[in-house]
């Protein structure tokens, strides 16, 4: 059996850390800390502190007697920027799509997403479907139980390895309808091959009405050559490979536009790293800044 996703746990850790320690908040996931128990929080923190020499030898030397500052540096530079900004962007678009009549929200590769628990006000107007690998989904259910969080009626778990083969049947079995739908695909596209990305997007929108849309993040063509601030892009690629979840694809804007066009989608909004920095990281006094090479897209079915 495949183990639950490591990246989903690290992403939840980053959101929990931000909610607990940072100000101002880019994205307040105040539930994430309930899903990561104290031991996990401590273990991940210690791993990051011990790994500081891998990230930056100069910082390791300078902060060697201050583990809290080391953790803050690793979290701000490496772990937090992308999970925070993309979640904030996605839920901003989602709120807008709800006003425009979306009735269903499908979270692909949901990991330890907490949307339903942070927004009980949408319980009566929105059906939420979380799709993830069975092992990761079971891991999440156990976490919800440990945190005494009751799964709301409008949240439906759909175990599926959608990276291998996406199928609508498991969704229909949980009450999914052929109506205007909003998808999120965050932190997933770069772990799939180009062919898998194209096939997935095409399958997602094959039977949905126009106006259905998706928000996703993707890596641009510099992914495997860029260094980034403190070499963080290079580190991200190396860490993904070491954890057994290697990054496999990157795209030029034209390639992404063509891929979406083939599936009948138009790009409604595209945010470059500079755009993301301006929108979510402006005037900060800490080290949080938009990750180089990562872009966000909101695409709508014609």
What's the pLDDT tens digit per position in 219-231?
999 999 999 999 9
Under a CB-based contact definition with an 8 Å cutoff, are residues 109 and 131 in contact?
A: yes
Domain 81-301 has CATH 3.40.50.150: yes
Which pLDDT belongs to residue 163? 86
Taking the C-alpha atoms of residue 255 and residue 105, their distance in angstroms, rounded to an integer, is 26
Q: How would you list the strands of the sheet with 104-108, edge to edge?
A: 155-159, 127-132, 104-108, 181-185, 213-219, 294-301, 265-271
Q: 200-214, pLDDT tens digit by residue?
A: 999 999 999 999 999
Task: Indicate the average pLDDT of the chain.
Answer: 96
Q: Read off the pLDDT band of 92 (50, 70, 90).
A: very high
Q: pTM value? A: 0.96
The alpha carbon of residue 205 and the mean position of all alpha carbons in its chain are separated, in whole angstroms, by: 20
* Dihedrals phi, psi of 192, to nearest 5 degrees: -105, 155
Q: 271-297, pLDDT tens digit by residue?
A: 999 999 999 999 999 999 999 999 999
Under a CB-based contact definition with an 8 Å cutoff, are residues 51 and 61 in contact?
A: no
Q: Where in the chain is the domain with CATH 3.40.50.150?
A: 81-301
* Interval 169-196 mean pLDDT: 97
Which pLDDT belongs to residue 1? 45
């Amino acid at each position: 059996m495949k183990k639950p996703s490591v990246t989903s746990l690290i992403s939840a850790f980053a959101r929990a850390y931000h909610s607990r320690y940072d100000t101002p908040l880019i994205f307040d996931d105040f539930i994430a800390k309930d899903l990561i128990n104290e031991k996990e929080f401590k273990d991940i923190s210690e791993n990051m502190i011990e790994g500081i020499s891998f990230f930056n030898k100069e910082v390791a030397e300078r902060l060697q007697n201050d583990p809290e500052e080391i953790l803050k540096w690793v979290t701000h530079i490496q772990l937090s920027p992308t999970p925070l900004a993309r979640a904030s962007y996605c839920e901003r678009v989602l709120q807008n799509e709800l006003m425009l009549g979306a009735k269903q929200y499908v979270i692909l590769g949901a990991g330890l997403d907490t949307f339903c628990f942070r927004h009980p006000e949408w319980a009566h107007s929105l059906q939420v479907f979380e799709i993830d690998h069975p092992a990761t989904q079971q891991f999440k259910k156990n976490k919800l139980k440990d945190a005494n969080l009751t799964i709301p009626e409008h949240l439906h778990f759909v175990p599926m390895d959608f990276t291998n083969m996406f199928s609508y049947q498991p969704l229909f079995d949980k009450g999914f309808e052929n109506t205007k739908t909003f998808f999120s695909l965050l932190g997933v596209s770069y772990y799939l091959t180009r062919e898998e990305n194209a096939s997935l997007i095409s399958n997602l929108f094959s039977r949905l009405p126009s106006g259905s849309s998706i928000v996703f993040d993707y890596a641009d063509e510099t992914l495997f050559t860029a260094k980034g601030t403190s070499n963080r892009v290079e580190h991200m690629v190396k860490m993904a490979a070491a954890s057994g979840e290697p990054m496999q694809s990157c795209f030029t804007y034209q390639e992404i536009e063509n891929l979406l066009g083939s599936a009948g989608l138009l790009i409604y909004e595209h945010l470059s790293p500079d755009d993301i920095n301006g929108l979510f990281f402006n005037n900060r006094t800490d080290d949080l800044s938009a990750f180089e090479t990562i872009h966000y897209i909101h695409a709508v079915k014609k």
